[in-house]
Structure 1
Amino acid sequence: MKTVACIIQDGFAPFEFGVACEAFGLDRSDDGVPNFDFRVVAPRVGVVRSKMGFSVNVEHDLSFAYEADLVVFCPMPRQYWGAIDPLLLDVARDAVARGAWVMSVCSGSFILAAAGVLDGRRATTHWMYSDLMADMYPEIDIDADVLFVQDGRIITSAGTAAGIDACLHLLRQEIGAELTNRIARRMVVPPQRDGGQAQFIDRPIPASHGDSLSKVADWAVEHLREDLGIEQLAARALMSQRTFARRFKAEYGVTPAAWLGRQRVIHAQRLLERTDFGLDRIADECGFGSAAVLRQNFTRTLGLAPTAYRARFSCAEESAA
């Protein structure tokens, strides 16, 4: 992925627009991160008004979007959802047809839905709009409970900060976990929130810092090599297993077992990129137990075998130097 077109129109949401700019538009070559040819485009060149009372001057029309490797659709005002600019529909259809990456943030998914490219696919949007989207587009399998969904080369994300998670998810596939983690550190966000995590939870804010399970989670990440289970984690949190499982799901949006499995895959990604360890050693370091179990979990999660991932993203020689 070398070129990125970010599409905005009148009434665009500044935060979600800024997420795309931050993820794909900044020069991070000093961190070893490759730069993208990132351009903001609009149906018509000139002044484009945001929903917050300021405007930006867009220098590029949609021509660049027809050749970009990634096309990002930013949120659009609700009054346009039923009458979307045909120029945007054409761009969406073309991008999908030629196999480009396509991403929508929040209500940008309504553009993809209207273009028909989500028909028969699983997708998401902001939970406040999911029922309306399901009514307008019954052919789409709407999942209102997740941060983002990838179906093929189409990624739809929920509202606001979920766009950051979707961008990092795509970057992990294009430039690897190590470089994506560098971007996440620069953005001061966690690199590991998965699409399956809940958009909103029953307890959004812990009653106190000590009430959060973050310390247990941090400890688990440092001890992935061990035979961890809900018994050990619950004991460390001084809770019954049932209470811990319920609280963990409320705070992290996934079960402890699913979360641990994902953390082990993320650690395996780092080791495949940064070391020349064999698969048996990596499996041991990550707590998978055997190379066969590592291959199974890694391939199921990323759609790529560990050896193929290493061939694509290895920077072991750079690390050794």
Structure 2
Amino acid sequence: MVELIAVDGIGEIAPGHDLAALLTEAAELVDGDVVVVTSKIVAKAAGLATRRSRDEVLAEETDRVVARRGGTSIVRTHHGLTMAAAGIDASNVEEGYVIPLPRDPDGDARRLRARIAELAGVTVGVVIADTAGRSWRNGQTDMAIGCAGVVPVASFAGKTDGHGNTLVVTAPAVADEIAGAAELASGKLGGRPFVVVRGLDASLLSADDGPGAAALVRDEGQDLFGLGSREAVLSAALRESRRGFLDAADEWEGLDEVLAAASVPCRRDGSRVLIERGDDDIEAGATAERVWAVAFAYGLDIEILVSTDSGD
């Protein structure tokens, strides 16, 4: 049976506070526990709360913008996380302050784990959690931005289910599931930044620190949603950086589909695209722009030639 134990009596966190000492004084830990701690108190203890403007901090924390609608910015942080406002928060801090995510969440998790072992003589896992939204779904849930001593992703590839079907891509995000479960016990307004998760299967824990929550971050080239819908169109139209576009398995397939659908004669010869202008300058020009945009999105190095007729 898995237990979720929210730890009371921690109090307000200030720069320099020893989080492991506060936890081990307030809770009795045993080997195999997983300690879930909010990213906010890790950042507070590190002295990251600041009176600088939110926009200034956002610019500093942003690796690139994924999407922007009005005053809301979804960005990829330098950690590789995709979050609204880079995870910067103004709740549960003094008025006039904002606080960003910890600089090195996996490193913080490793250090907290080692300090707990030093103080309490127990081997635990540590998950540093933060709240984020999800594509396609309303609401937010907690996820792991740092972890140590926990298997972040459990791969079931190659195993068979009860019907004999071979699993191919099934890979539970264990650290995220732990973070989300812990939030049910801590609540948002309860002032309980630590939750002890007890009774997890030993296969979900690791003797060493493990790869950390960095293992949960999808490689940028494999992210099908690396840009918002409007941003993808704008990026292609302006011929800006391709970061955020998918690295396609068949780079030329999309381009060939555009050529096949064009209303003017056109064909591809290797990396050269030949478009026949004929009597329709507008459609020939539009086809050239569509071809260029798709080539840009797929990262193709092409040459576009527009001829006056099929004989040129």
Kindly indicate whether structure 1 or structure 2 has the higher relative contact order, using CA contacts under 8 Å at least 6 residues apart: 2
- Flag the structure with larger Rg: 2
Query: Which has the larger strand fraction?
Result: 2
**TM-score (norm: length of structure 2):** 0.27
**TM-score (norm: length of structure 1):** 0.26
Query: Which has the larger helix fraction?
Result: 1
